[in-house]
Amino acid sequence: MTTTDAEARRKIVNRLRRAGGQLNAVIAAVENGGSCRDVVTQLAAVTSALDKAGFAIVSTAMKDCVTDSQTEADLAQGLTTEELEKLFLMLA
């Protein structure tokens, strides 16, 4: 595993942990009769965190595919995982 792979994995795990914490807040709010606004706001945060983690996973996989079959033009372009993620997010 390269340093880039380890860093990408760390960021993905952090996002998933954040989503887990936000989901726990949603559950607590529902159990304790929290306001609809608070529940929906936290639920939106969970959804966003999960989406971002999913996009990061896909972009990392895309980068691996691109790296395995890059042409000289692709290498000169030097796309990073973050750039691939932004490109993928533009499609979502």
Q: What are the pLDDT digits (tens) for 30-63?
A: 999 999 998 999 999 899 888 888 888 877 776 6
- Residue 58, pLDDT score: 78
Distances (CA, A) of 39 to 16, 30, 50, 88: 19, 7, 17, 29
Dihedral angle computed from the Cα positions of residues 28, 42, 61 and 66, in that order, rounded to the nearest 10 degrees: -170
Ordered by start, the domain boundaries in the chain are 3-91
Terminal Cα-to-Cα distance of the chain (whole angstroms):
29
CATH of domain 3-91: 1.20.58.1000
Radius of gyration of the chain (CA): 17
- State residue 89's pLDDT score: 74
Q: Report the alpha-carbon distance of residue 38 to residue 29 in Å, rounded.
A: 7
Torsion, Cα of 90, 66, 57, 43 (10° steps): 0
Q: Provide the pLDDT for residue 29.
A: 93
The predicted structure's pLDDT at residue 7? 86
- pTM of this structure: 0.64
